[in-house]
Amino acid sequence: MTLYMFMFMFILVVFSSNMPGVCSVRLLGSLNHNTHNIFNVLKYGAKADGQTDDSTAFLAAWNAACSSTGSPVVYVPKMTFLINPAIFQGPCHSNKITMQVAGKLIASTDNSLWSEKSINYWLHFMNVIGLTIEGSGILDGRGASWWTEVNGKKTNQIGPTTLRFTGTMNTIVRKITSVNSKQFHINFDTCNYVEVEGVTINAPGDSPNTDGIHLGQSSNVQIRNIIVGTGDDCISIGPGSFNVNIEGVICGPGHGISIGSLGEDNALAAVKNITVSGVSFHDTQNGVRIKTWQGGNGFATDITFQNVKMDNVQNPVIIDQYYSPYGSPTKGDSNVKISNVLYQNITGTSASNAAIAFECSQSVPCEGIKVDHINLSCNDGKTNAQFLCRNAHVTAVDAGAVSPTPCL
């Protein structure tokens, strides 16, 4: 009986392998789904030797994934890939596409690749909806030669951003590490619905123009639980930024978190509904800063800085409406109106006696500036910290809970 049963099952298996049985169809469907939705860059010709330009292979994998349906994944294995400037273009067929980075991407040290001013990127994602870039991988801009050769010449050349996004929607950047960018590390321009979480950004404190994350003309942005040490702003929020929430950031070294600069070249600037919370600054040039150019127009309003810790920060709290990176400011007042700004629960030490300095425009003074539960002292333990104001209308929620004494 057992022998006959065995022979019957054997014949059934052989017979079913030649016919589209239900079980075999389900199995093949599962395999096809996995295979068709993972696009490993190695299968598209990437050499992964750290010397051969693998840009073409990456773009081929991207284009294949972008043309796919479902939830395609461009997979970068744990190896080293040399990538020259590349544009990953959308829109894609799927509104859920992922680049999973386990390996290390390195930029070329040949600065002539960026000799054209229009090439202001290393890895550029354009017009993609539902993009996620995540993984334990590293993006190494290898910026040292750029900082010395290009920035040292003081040219007007715009440097490449490591990870640039233009015109994207529903974008997530999660857990990756960016090091030694030639200029900005991550830049969002004309993007809507952005989430950055668990990212690490690192460059030397003297590396020029290496902002960690820059926002411009972008809305509905969430930045959470990131670590940034760099040579410029840890996070900079440019004109056209609305509904931005930043929380859980460790910043240092760097120039702090800045709103602006706004109104450059007499431009119209608008920034609204910005919240910065749960941030710590260590050995930075600034803490929380709003900066505008003289002659500009527009507004920056509905801004909250709360639950902030300062450790040896040169300018912990600052509004500068006479901003100029070129030394002495130009003539005239800023017409960028700053209003409805709350500073709440800010503590720690200042490296200068000007712990709080509000330098506002004479033509459009700062209005609606509120301070609540602030305790800042000079780190030497001897110098009295100061609260300085010019053309600023400041009120204290509880004057007794604000130190240094506010200029009301």
Can you tell me the mean pLDDT for 2-29?
Answer: 35
Lowest mean pLDDT among 222-236, 314-328, 363-377, 393-407: 314-328
Classified by CATH at the fold level, domain 259-408 comes out as: Pectate Lyase C-like (2.160.20)
Identify the residue with better confidence: 257 or 22: 257
Distance CA 389, CA 279 (A): 24
Distance CA 61, CA 63 (A): 6
Q: Which residues contact 323 (CB under 8 A, 6 or more apart)?
A: 260, 261, 291, 292, 293, 329
Residue spans of the domains in the chain: they are: 39-110+118-232, 259-408
pLDDT of residue 327: 63
Confidence label for 331 from pLDDT (cuts 50, 70 and 90): low
Dihedral in degrees, nearest 10, Cα atoms 207, 209, 215, 221:
10
pLDDT of residue 295: 84
Lowest mean pLDDT among 19-33, 126-140, 182-196, 290-304: 19-33
What pTM value is reported for the model? 0.90
Can you tell me the mean pLDDT for 154-163?
Answer: 78
Provide φ and ψ at 229, rounded to 5°.
-135, 120
Distance CA 342, CA 276 (A): 10
Can you tell me the mean pLDDT for 387-395?
Answer: 96
Fold: same for 39-110+118-232 and 259-408: yes
Contact 356, 374 (CB under 8 A): yes
Known catalytic residue at 373 = no
* DSSP SS3 for 119: coil
Can you tell me the mean pLDDT for 223-246?
Answer: 98
Distance CA 162, CA 166 (A): 13
pLDDT of residue 36: 67
Distance CA 49, CA 258 (A): 39
Distance CA 152, CA 5 (A): 83
Task: Sheet containing 86-89: give its strands across.
Answer: 86-89, 121-126, 161-166, 186-189, 213-216, 235-237, 257-262, 286-292, 315-320, 354-359, 386-390
Contact 245, 221 (CB under 8 A): yes
CATH H superfamily, domain 39-110+118-232: Single-stranded right-handed beta-helix, Pectin lyase-like (2.160.20.10)
Known catalytic residue at 255 = yes
pLDDT tens-digit readout, 32-66? 335 569 999 999 999 999 999 999 999 999 999 99
Using the predicted structure, report yes or no on whether residue 94 has a pLDDT greater than 90.
yes
Catalytic-role residue among 54, 189, 211, 232: 232
| CA distances from residue 393 to 165, 344, 358 in whole angstroms, order as listed | 38, 16, 10
Catalytic-role residue among 233, 255, 311, 320: 255
Confidence label for 16 from pLDDT (cuts 50, 70 and 90): very low
Provide φ and ψ at 329, rounded to 5°.
-70, 160
Distance CA 21, CA 365 (A): 78
pLDDT of residue 334: 86
